[in-house]
Amino acid sequence: MKNRYPRNMSGYGIDCPEVVWPFNSRIAVQFVVNYEEGGENNILHGDQGSEAFLSEIIGATSWRGQRHWNMESIYEYGSKAGFWRLARIFQKANIKPTVFGVATALARSPEQVAAMNYMDWEIASHGLKWIEHKDMSISEERKQIKEAIKLHKEVTGKEPSGWYTGRCSMNTVDLVSSEKIFKYISDAYDDDLPYWRFHNNFDQLIIPYSLDVNDMRFASTQGFNSGDQFFTYLKDTFDCLYSEGCDGQAKIMNVGLHCRLAGRPGRAQALSKFIDYCRNHEKVWFPKRVEIADFWEKNNPPTHFSRPSQMDKSEFLNAFGGIFENSRWVAEQAFELELGPAHDTAIGIHGALSRSFRSGTRKERLEVLKAHPDLAGKLLVSNNLTKASTSEQESAGLDKLSEKEFAIFSNLNKKYFEKHRFPFIIAVRDYDKSGILSSFRDRLENETELEFDEACSQVERIAYIRLQDILP
């Protein structure tokens, strides 16, 4: 069985995609209003006990088999007062946020839903109930997802375009994606930009969310304890991302809000202050989440290619068996490593192949060196090189040498091999003809052990360049 690691530790890497938001905006500031009030744990809702999460009661525990008057009252503040305060703030600023709406909570708040629709807010799904899903069976969670979609449509008038469970299980994203109706899923916190997730032959857009730029920090230890702290953190996050956007690497700033938390007067003031701060900067986009999804689908559609981590052994060896010149064993050993999504790129699979190469004995690595042809040698002249080697040498013009140049290369090849007992190896695509000759003469003077190490490094460099031709 293949040894495969499911987590993706790579992302976009150092070269983030060049994103040009609408209106040439340098940052997308996206506000989320979580509407959970009436969907939380409560024996009235068929749950085992009261809610214990995200309230003013820090360290609260669930009261098993009982209602919790204080907890219920705190949640009710969110629906009765906090929601309307946030609504006034966003209306005044002419910003339309996205609602993460728990279906059963929305069903118990028809006036608030009517206001959301009137203000043209996006209402995404926040699941059926505001409860933990980690111990839920796959069949039960699938059932609840379908019930949430159905109830959401009944209550709001249309199916949700986006989904965020929050208190999700390891199965949630796969199950929601399998519905194939959502423009995006936000149960991820792993990037500042959207990305495509391929699962069961379906490309699902993920728009990551944030738990740090989030008023939930008011309800946790070591979190925010004043509006000033909240504002400062919002401002610092904005400043960092705005600066990156000015440098051509635009991002999303996710701001997570809860009616019962940010809807409190002191925190609402910090939110208003932050919105004013954003307004004092040019080229700031305040989209709904679905608008980001539409933009990304149009401008950054998914790309499809054969992913090394998903190949069987035959496919893998056909693709990479020749990357290290005529040394199939390197790919054979790499296939047995713990490969995953991080290896589905040129640099990723190069890491696996190089690891395999480096683990070989000196004798095995020497055989890899000997498998490389001479530069401008007989094999090139007779057209007997591998396709990759031919292309590489031709790129440096080594197939079009004058008689004098050919004689120089032949003499250097002979001297180098006599001294080191393996051919001179260099990543010719990194050099022009004169650069190759200069390096050839310099390295001829090296001690063999030093040159062995350099040749191995060049082999790895050649492999990477070859991989760049076939993988992203």
Which structural domains are found in the chain, ordered by start?
A: 22-299 (3.20.20.370), 308-468 (1.10.3330.10)
Residue 381 has pLDDT above 70, yes or no: no
Question: Please, which pLDDT band fits residue 462 given cuts at 50, 70 and 90?
Answer: very high
Query: What's the confidence (pLDDT) of residue 52?
Result: 78
Q: What's the pLDDT at 184? A: 98
What's the confidence (pLDDT) of residue 383? 63
Of the chain, the percentage scoring pLDDT greater than 90 comes to 75
pTM: 0.90
Burial of 261 (0-12, 13-18, 19+ CB in 10 A): buried
Residue 379: is its pLDDT beyond 60?
Answer: no
Res 215 pLDDT > 90: no
pLDDT band at 244 (very low <50, low <70, confident <90, very high): very high
pLDDT band for position 220 (cuts 50, 70, 90)? confident
Above 80 in pLDDT, residue 438? yes
What confidence score (pLDDT) does residue 209 get?
97
Is pLDDT above 90 for 107? Answer: yes
* Residue 373: predicted pLDDT: 85
Grade residue 1 by pLDDT with cuts at 50, 70 and 90: low
403 or 176, which is more confident? 176
Query: Average pLDDT in the 181-200 region?
Result: 95
At residue 395's C-alpha, the angle toward residues 389 and 399, to 5°, is 75
Give the tens place of pLDDT for each residue, 312-370.
999 999 999 999 998 999 999 999 999 999 999 999 999 999 999 999 999 999 999 99
> What is residue 110's predicted lDDT score, i.e. its pLDDT?
97
Which of 59-63, 264-268, 379-383: highest mean pLDDT?
A: 264-268
What pLDDT score does 384 carry?
58
Mean pLDDT score, 197-206: 92
Q: Report percent pLDDT > 70 for the chain.
A: 98
